[in-house]
Amino acid sequence: MKGGGFDRRGWLDGARRVPSPNADERPPGTEVSLVVIHGISLPPGRFGGDAILRLFANRLDPGEHPSFATIAGLRVSSHFLIRRDGSLVQFVPCGERAWHAGASRWKGRERCNDFSIGIELEGTDERPYTGKQYRRLAALVRRIRTRWPAGDLAGHADIAPGRKTDPGPAFDWARLRRLLAG
């Protein structure tokens, strides 16, 4: 292992791996400069279970829950998911482009998937995230930054305003900044 515990491709040692097919190569010469924080729960407002994992693996049953009918056919992923208990799942190696941002823009650059690492937090816009999630998130961002020049942090809402709202008003950016500084 090198660079914060990541292997050559960008798999993190110690994270549970659930590979997603919803990824591809980054454009040649593209450096990772942004970490995007997301919030997700499936079904909406429910925590635990494996629906998020099945969504990112293209195995979500649209008939299982009414909310799944409109999302089961999406081809989306993220690099990481941090569960409510702080456990960490990785879907895509950080050296590859995960399909997490969609139509997006940051500091004048379009297509944030090209130059970002996506981290999903199990949660909702309105419910506070857990202390374990903040601690794991800060540790993960620090590890990412030992390997990639990902100096910028943004929420999904920041890169896709008007289209996305996550991680929402319940996310405490000041708390994350304090943890990163400490």
Residue boundaries of the structural domains of the chain? 16-181
Report yes or no on whether pTM surpasses 0.75.
yes
**What pLDDT score does 182 carry?**
84
Average of per-residue pLDDT across 165-177 = 98
Q: Is 120 a catalytic residue?
A: yes
pLDDT for residue 147 is more than 70: yes
DSSP for 12-33, please give it. BTTSEE---SSEEEPPTTPPP-
Structure token pair of residue 54: 């099945």
Select which of 64, 120, 122, 126 is catalytic.
120
Contact between 35 and 141 (Cβ < 8 Å): yes
Q: What is the mean pLDDT of the chain?
A: 96
Nearest to 71 by CA among 57, 60, 87: 60
Nearest to 101 by CA among 140, 154, 156: 156
CATH number assigned to the domain covering 16-181: 3.40.80.10
Strand partners, 106: 109
